[in-house]
Structure 1
Amino acid sequence: MRRRDLTRVPLVADGVPAVDLTAKPPPGRHVELPTHWGPMRLHLRETPGPSVNAPTAVHLHGLAGSSTNWTDLAGLLAGRLRSIALDLPGFGRSEPPLGFGFTRQANAEVVIGLLERLDAGPVHLSGNSFGAAVAVEVAVLRPDLIASLTLISPAMPDLRLNPRRLSDPRIALAMVPVLGARTRRQLAAVSPADRATQLLRLCFADPDAVPPHRLAEAIAEFEERALMPWSGPALGRTTAELVRSWLAPPTRSLWHRLPEVVAPSLVVWGSADRVVTVRKAPRTAMLLPRGRLLVLPRTGHVAQMERPRMVAQAVLGLVQTDSW
């Protein structure tokens, strides 16, 4: 593959309008989708664009995330794009259908079904972490549905054994025979407030900078999830399937999928990402045939939440560049 100087590609739009970054997430709604596992009710949140004919952006969250992870970014994009953020099956308010596989391929099938139902033309698809892995799969399987692709700290294969990558070090013991059952009971006893705080401290480079209103929203969301019987098992299954995909043969690896993406693509990575190392960023961008790279200093695993204005500028720069 011919190497490209990604630093020469325009990365930012002319400007992003000021918006209220204390706004609450938009109200959600469910849509009925047929799947080969049976019908499912997919939950999504919509942020209107400047007109009913505005191009559509679709956003996919990462593990333990939800549609609320895109509130600020969607608001910043609203001057140009309509945004739809969804809860992937088993997360947020989307109950998974019975027998759902929890792989990136299974999630991609659901996302493709939603895009077909929206019938909004090619969309600007973005994903964070596991959601970015799903987004790659969607872009490869249905290039006709994708106008551009933004990957924020995508969950590329990363098998480092480092407890700092976990929101709670005990998670590593949860799958160990004998010890696992006791550890899972201990983890289940962690309060929603502590769970939210642990996750934010893992995913933000500067967790003390998390706005109080966003922390309060995260705690309320974890309290709601505690009442959903599918939430814990879905997180465990999705995590296990993600790790299993990292152990797959090279021809089935996510690395192998990247060169098949034809859409203009942007890779955004935080230099202080503790979950998936930023050292994988250059290779990720170079493998994308039309890829560009933006590494954000002093930023963690969820750049769309920690640096929403910078990410919005980069996304709009991608959207506004017709050819490069």
Structure 2
Amino acid sequence: MAELAPWWPGAAVEVDGRELFVRRGPEPSAGREPAVFVHGLGGSATNWTDLMAELGDVLAGAAPDLPGFGESPPPPDDDYSIDAHADVVAGLVEALGRGPVHLFGNSMGGAVATRVAAQRPELVRSLTLVTPALPDLRPRPHPYQLLSGLLPVLGPVGHAWLLRRPPEAQVRTMLDMCYHDPGRVPPPRMTATVEEYRRRAGLAHVSRAELGSLRGLVQEYVRSGPRALWRQAGLVECPVLLVYGRHDKLVDARMALRAGQAFRDSRTVVLSDSGHLPMMEHPAAVAREVRALLDDVAPGPRR
């Protein structure tokens, strides 16, 4: 990427009777195939800005703010389960009218995208999962810190206190947890992120959205039966790219082996110098892997 891409413009889209804010990359044209990018817990559509720019010559991307995140209003029923998020993403693909799409998901968005690909295979042409939050019950300090927000009474109070901290402090905490090298964040991007945290601080639903989505993700970690995420991974029919960061504090890179075995047609990449957000920390490297996947899906020159 020659220069830092600005956040893509967006607009409200009605999906199944609810409003969803969707940012769009380069406009559809000959040779550009449709893609949908799903962010993770606490994230937003802007997390995909640089990867969408890197792939702008081959993909016409649409990145939604999931309900209650970014600029999307909360869902009317306050349902932040993985099922609810998956229904919204599937509804967006249908609303775009250009499916099947190349579907991307990061962290919680990876769990959402996995469910969409398993349950609605006709909507998904390829699946790229970047540090997907698939069930892993082994104890690790940072995920357990997040889980403290679900403790009765004290959890929501503590989470609300965290959201009242200065935006600069919140952003530093996020970068320390999600990046291997926070110094890679360009100053203009840091400024824009702080301003976004400042805007979100005034919204009453932010804590509900984050804790509700965290609760929904935990429910998937303990789900058993045919709709358990690992079993659904085995149902995904399309080609899958799995991208992990060696220094991820939230999703253990060792899960790459299990994921590679769970999906039928998959290729796994572990980036040695990345944390939880490879598409932000190393967008060019992730884009190269995506292009290789696209070549497999539809042979022909893409580089």
Q: Shorter-normalised TM-score: what interval?
A: over 0.9
Question: 1:140: Cα distance to partner?
Answer: 1.2
Change (3 A) 1:122 1:178: closer
Aligned position for 1:80: 58
Deviates more, 1:283-292 or 1:245-254: 245-254
Corresponding residue to 1:60 among 38, 53, 75: 38
4+ residue segments displaced more than 6 Å? none
Coordinate RMSD, CA, aligned: 1.9
Report which structure shows greater RCO (CA 8 Å, sep ≥6): 1
Question: 1:110: Cα distance to partner?
Answer: 0.8
Corresponding residue to 2:214 among 239, 243, 266: 239
Corresponding residue to 1:202 among 171, 177, 181: 177
2:257 partner letter: P
Aligned position for 1:23: 5
Corresponding residue to 2:265 among 287, 290, 315: 290
Aligned mates of 1:212, 1:122 — CA distance in 2: 37
Question: 1:49: Cα distance to partner?
Answer: 5.0
- Alignment size in residue pairs: 299
* Matched-pair contact (CA < 8 Å) for 1:46–1:85: yes
Question: 1:62: Cα distance to partner?
Answer: 0.4
Offset from partner CA, 1:89-139 (integer Å, 9 cap, x none): 111011122114211111111111111111113111000000011101111
Aligned position for 1:89: 67
Offset from partner CA, 1:274-305 (integer Å, 9 cap, x none): 10101111110221111111111011111100
Does residue 114 of the first structure (1) align with residue 99 of the second (2)? no
User: 1:1-324 to 2 correspondence within 5 Å?
Assistant: 18-20=1-3, 22-34=4-16, 39-48=17-26, 51=29, 54-165=32-143, 169=145, 171-177=146-152, 179-180=154-155, 182-322=157-297
* Matched-pair contact (CA < 8 Å) for 2:126–2:239: yes
5+ residue gaps, structure 2: none
Question: 1:160: Cα distance to partner?
Answer: 3.8
1:296 partner letter: L
Deviates more, 1:185-194 or 1:260-269: 185-194
For residue 226 of structure 2, give the secondary structure of its aligned residue in structure 1.
helix
For residue 228 of structure 1, give the secondary structure of its aligned residue in structure 2.
coil
5+ residue gaps, structure 1: 1-17
Percent sequence identity over aligned pairs: 39
2:13 partner letter: V
Aligned mates of 2:155, 2:59 — CA distance in 1: 45
Offset from partner CA, 1:70-96 (integer Å, 9 cap, x none): 110000101111111110111101112
Aligned mates of 1:237, 1:319 — CA distance in 2: 34
